């Protein structure tokens, strides 16, 4: 039943949810949301520390979302070498995010966006507690790259390639 509900939500998300994702050059949104530990994360404070990947995924511990998170985990050293911070965002509650983090030993922050406020700030479609899979790279307070249909198993490679292509 849970799978059927997730499939329906994803279908509705693609068919009915409208939204204009932030464009490259747009100011990064000033939004706050809880992480997997229930602690509020102030995005502008994170962005002030350096380049940040904000990636949205539909649901913690589902096949595609797990591949995406594990891609970032598995290339964590490469991301860190470039100074890229990571915020993974889904509509899950903090406890589900915590279980996801622990099960897959994820080294980055997971944001619990159960009300869709972070998704709305980035213009990411959000329906029935599920956001569309999208990614944004923020640097210098601006969106410098976005991927409207973020990859799963190759996500870290895509992010690193995009980062390397940015003007220095």
Q: Single out the residue of 152, 146, 139, 144 nearest to residue 57, CA to CA.
A: 152
- Cα–Cα distance, 69 to 101 (Å, whole number): 9
- Cα–Cα distance, 86 to 72 (Å, whole number): 9
The residues pairing with 143 across neighbouring beta strands, listed in sequence order, are: 138
Which phi and psi (to 5°) does residue 111 adopt? -100, 130
For the chain, the distance separating the N- and C-terminal CA atoms, rounded to the nearest angstrom, is 49
Among 22, 33, 60, 65, the active-site one is 65
Is 65 known to be catalytic? yes
Residue 21 in tokens = 């994702």
Residues that are catalytic: 65
């Amino acid at each position: 039943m849970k799978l059927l509900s997730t499939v329906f939500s994803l279908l509705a998300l693609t068919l009915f949810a409208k939204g204009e994702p932030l464009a490259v050059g747009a100011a990064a949104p000033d939004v706050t949301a809880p992480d997997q530990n229930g602690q509020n994360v102030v995005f502008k404070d994170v962005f002030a520390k350096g380049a940040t990947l904000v990636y949205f995924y539909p649901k913690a511990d589902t096949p595609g979302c797990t591949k995406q998170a594990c891609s970032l985990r598995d290339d964590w050293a490469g991301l860190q070498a470039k100074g890229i911070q990571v915020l993974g965002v889904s509509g899950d509650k903090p406890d589900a995010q915590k279980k996801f983090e622990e099960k897959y030993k994820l080294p980055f922050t997971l944001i619990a966006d159960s009300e869709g406020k972070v998704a709305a700030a980035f213009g990411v479609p959000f329906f029935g507690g599920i956001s569309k899979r999208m990614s944004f790279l923020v640097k210098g307070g601006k969106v410098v790259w976005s991927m409207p249909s973020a990859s799963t198993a190759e996500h870290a490679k895509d992010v690193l390639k995009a980062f390397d292509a940015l003007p220095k």
